[in-house]
A and B are shown apart, each in its own frame.
Chain A
Amino acid sequence: MTTPSAPLHLLQATQLTKSFAPRYLLGPVDLGLAAGETIGVIGKNGAGKSTLFQLLTGNLDASSGEVRLDGHKLTPDTPQIKRMIGYLPQDPVLPRWATGREVLGYGARLYELNDIAKRVPAAEAYWDCGSYRQKPLSTLSYGMQKRVALALATIHEPRLLILDEPFSGLDLNHIKALEELLAQRRANGLTTVLSTHVTAFCARLCSRVWSLSDGHLDSVEPWLSLTHPQRERAIEDRFFGTPTAPVHR
């Protein structure tokens, strides 16, 4: 029996729906995220992955249903609960004329972190943003801005991290850094949800994969018992609807 005071899941969504008149409807979605899980979400462009993430972060009001984080109902007006989440949107627009250092310092203050003078340089160092920390963000490349956004989403070491297509625009070094971060989070019992179109990332990093299609969320099963190539095949089968031709790997 699940109760708000003793949740089985870190995050629990119940009968969650979102409709955009006149046509699109997401859900109803029921899901639970346990501590330490890394969940991959796959789906076609426009399937509703970003909408689902917005609902899970409490940034968007659901048409019906609810999201509970650590037993507490999540809404746009629950700042203390929302701070348990780190979120990277698909298109992380940052203030044009601020510097990376300023944005991270600002973010750290918004999260009311205590050791700002240590956290900000540490985040810059991990995401390799130190060399351009004094440049206006509008003068940086997409990948460089994305690293600042990743640093911002993770600076408070959130219990739940939601990443919308985090690998796009990153170079190999920083893809590796992100993979290491996800592995470290998993080892530390922290939960991550990410969307990606790269099957290899899902196969390597995720403990479960959900497929979003026609507004409905299904789990890709079986998963844990499969090898990485088999997992990739399972995702492709789910994505294309029919088993794909054998692939020599």
Chain B
Amino acid sequence: MERLLHLYLLWWLGLGHRLRHDLARELTFAVASGVLMATFFYVFNDFLNVQVATLSHAMHERFAQLASIAIMLISAASAATWLRQERLAAGGVRQMGRLLGENQATLTAWSWLYALTLLGLSHGLCWWVIARWLTLWSPQATAYQEGLMLILTAVVIRLPDAPGPKLRPDAPLGGHKGLGFTLYIWRLRQLLRRNRASQLSLVIGAIFLAFVTMSVLRGLPLFVAAVSALAAGYTSTGALYFQLASDLSSAWTERGSGVTHDRFVRTYTWLGATLGVSYALGALLAYLAGAALHGDGNIDASTIGQALQVAAVALVPGLIAPMLGLQIDGRRSGTNLLLLLIATLFIGTAVFAHWLGLALIPILGSFALKSQAGRFYRA
């Protein structure tokens, strides 16, 4: 019992040391994010209220339920990932205890204690957020959802390690085609064919494009299609940040060959533009397809205008992501995604409100690119 408590204390102390080590940076980021979000709601409050008022009560409820399900999925998957890491990682308390010859009963008790603490914290936070801001389910429904979350957590913990990708035979070595092209094509191939997190992001982005078509087919307000397009652009751009984190972990290979910060950022600017334009075109076609099916093939000028507006919104995340990727820490995809979310909400809403909102992108770029100058070498 004493040794079990010792392990538990060791874990809490480790968590405390980690928090203390990063406290200044984490606090700065949290406060800056809070201020930006508050500013966003202050600036766009009236505009958003008008847009939200066009939605029916049932639609409101459905949005709240969808958001709740997304939070539950994220919570269950996060808890499962942490539990899995503790079970398998060499640096985990369990593995350390095992290597030091701790008996199996203590290790099993530790695993249960750790799991209960983690599930209590993550699922508790999840239910608090849902009940406070989104929707209030009955006790039976809550118990049912919690059961499903626990099953999902257990399934993720027990998943076997993913095998390596099946690689195709080597492409011919050939010659070089310019440094810029080499940097771009290497990343594009990694992002599309190798990096699993990036691949998942692109697929989720494509699913949101289907929501654009569905919203038009069901005759929902333009606002819903724009939100879906923004979500498509945002999630697909996540692929860029997952690849950036991977690139920075092995950045010595490129730094050594003389790749400059400017060249590195330019490559990501091209990649972001590629993803942004692809998903913007996807949103345009998805909207037009929905409109064609809804209106028996009739597409008028105003529909084309709306489709272009939706496409412009989808374009935003891809264009601004490279400006933000190295602002805090390019190796932390989660932090970058949160930063991108805030910037995307700002600029995406501005673009949806008026075309001139697109002018915000070069303005953001002129400041952001300066403030992250040289960070490829400091990451």
Question: Hey, which bits of chain A sit against chain B, CB under 8 A?
Answer: 57, 59-61, 76-83, 85-87, 89, 92-99, 101-103, 105-114, 116-117, 120, 133-136, 138-139, 152-153, 156
- Indicate with 1 or 0, residue by residue over B172-205, a CB within 8 angstroms of chain A CB atoms: 1111110100110010001000110000000000
The interface residues of chain B lying within 8 Å CB-to-CB of A106 are: 182, 186, 253
Within residues 353 to 379 of chain B, which ones have a CB less than 8 A from any CB in chain A?
Answer: 374, 376-378
User: Whole-angstrom distance from the CB of A69 to the nearest CB of chain B?
Assistant: 12
Contact B377 A61 (CB under 8 A): yes
Q: Report if A107-B257 is in contact (Cβ < 8 Å); known contacts: A59-B252, A95-B190.
A: yes
User: Whole-angstrom distance from the CB of A156 to the nearest CB of chain B?
Assistant: 8
User: Whole-angstrom distance from the CB of B267 to the nearest CB of chain A?
Assistant: 12
User: Whole-angstrom distance from the CB of B59 to the nearest CB of chain A?
Assistant: 42
| Nearest-CB residue, chain B, relative to A156 | B257
Q: Which of B111-119, B144-152, B258-266, B338-346 contacts A (4 or more CB under 8 A)?
A: B258-266
Contact B374 A134 (CB under 8 A): no
User: Whole-angstrom distance from the CB of B317 to the nearest CB of chain A?
Assistant: 25
**What would be 5 A-B contacts, judged by CB atoms less than 8 Å apart?**
A98-B194, A106-B253, A117-B173, A120-B173, A134-B170
Contact A116 B190 (CB under 8 A): no
Distance of A85 Cα from B252 Cα, bound (Å)? 12
The interface residues of chain B lying within 8 Å CB-to-CB of A109 are: 176-177, 179, 182
Further 13 A-B residue pairs, CB within 8 A, beyond A61-B374, A116-B175: A59-B256, A77-B262, A78-B258, A79-B263, A80-B258, A95-B250, A98-B190, A101-B170, A106-B253, A108-B176, A110-B257, A112-B176, A134-B167
Within residues 105 to 123 of chain B, which ones have a CB less than 8 A from any CB in chain A?
Answer: none
Checking B164, B167, B175, B182 against A110 with a beta-carbon cut-off of 8 angstroms, the contacting residue is: B182
Within residues 133 to 184 of chain B, which ones have a CB less than 8 A from any CB in chain A?
Answer: 164-165, 167, 169-170, 172-177, 179, 182-183
Distance of A95 Cα from B175 Cα, bound (Å)? 21
**B274 near A: Cβ within 8 Å?**
no
Contact A95 B179 (CB under 8 A): no
Contact B194 A82 (CB under 8 A): no
User: Whole-angstrom distance from the CB of B283 to the nearest CB of chain A?
Assistant: 30
Contact B257 A97 (CB under 8 A): no
Contact B252 A92 (CB under 8 A): yes
Main SS at interface, chain B: loop
The interface residues of chain B lying within 8 Å CB-to-CB of A117 are: 172-175
Distance of A83 Cα from B179 Cα, bound (Å)? 13
Contact B252 A97 (CB under 8 A): no
**B254 near A: Cβ within 8 Å?**
yes
10 nearest CB pairs, A to B:
A79-B258, A110-B257, A97-B194, A82-B258, A109-B176, A136-B164, A76-B377, A109-B182, A87-B256, A117-B173
Contact B250 A94 (CB under 8 A): yes
| Nearest-CB residue, chain B, relative to A92 | B252
Contact B377 A138 (CB under 8 A): no
| Nearest-CB residue, chain B, relative to A95 | B250
Distance of A243 Cα from B169 Cα, bound (Å)? 58
| Nearest-CB residue, chain B, relative to A114 | B175
Contact A134 B246 (CB under 8 A): no
**B255 near A: Cβ within 8 Å?**
yes
Interface bracket on B? 35 or more
Distance of A26 Cα from B198 Cα, bound (Å)? 40
Q: Report if A89-B252 is in contact (Cβ < 8 Å); known contacts: A61-B377, A79-B259.
A: yes
User: Whole-angstrom distance from the CB of B185 to the nearest CB of chain A?
Assistant: 9
Contact A105 B256 (CB under 8 A): no
Distance of A134 Cα from B377 Cα, bound (Å)? 30
The interface residues of chain B lying within 8 Å CB-to-CB of A57 are: 255-256
Distance of A115 Cα from B10 Cα, bound (Å)? 55
Distance of A153 Cα from B252 Cα, bound (Å)? 10
Checking B174, B195, B250 against A93 with a beta-carbon cut-off of 8 angstroms, the contacting residue is: B250
Contact A60 B259 (CB under 8 A): no
Distance of A98 Cα from B194 Cα, bound (Å)? 7
**B249 near A: Cβ within 8 Å?**
yes
Distance of A61 Cα from B373 Cα, bound (Å)? 13
Q: Report if A77-B182 is in contact (Cβ < 8 Å); known contacts: A94-B253, A107-B253, A133-B170.
A: no
User: Whole-angstrom distance from the CB of B249 to the nearest CB of chain A?
Assistant: 5
Distance of A86 Cα from B258 Cα, bound (Å)? 11
User: Whole-angstrom distance from the CB of A108 to the nearest CB of chain B?
Assistant: 8
The interface residues of chain B lying within 8 Å CB-to-CB of A85 are: 256
Contact B257 A93 (CB under 8 A): no
Contact A99 B173 (CB under 8 A): no
Contact A138 B260 (CB under 8 A): no
The interface residues of chain B lying within 8 Å CB-to-CB of A96 are: 194, 246
Contact A105 B173 (CB under 8 A): yes
Distance of A133 Cα from B172 Cα, bound (Å)? 13
Distance of A86 Cα from B257 Cα, bound (Å)? 8
Distance of A116 Cα from B176 Cα, bound (Å)? 8
Checking A79, A87, A113, A133 against B176 with a beta-carbon cut-off of 8 angstroms, the contacting residue is: A113
Contact B374 A103 (CB under 8 A): no
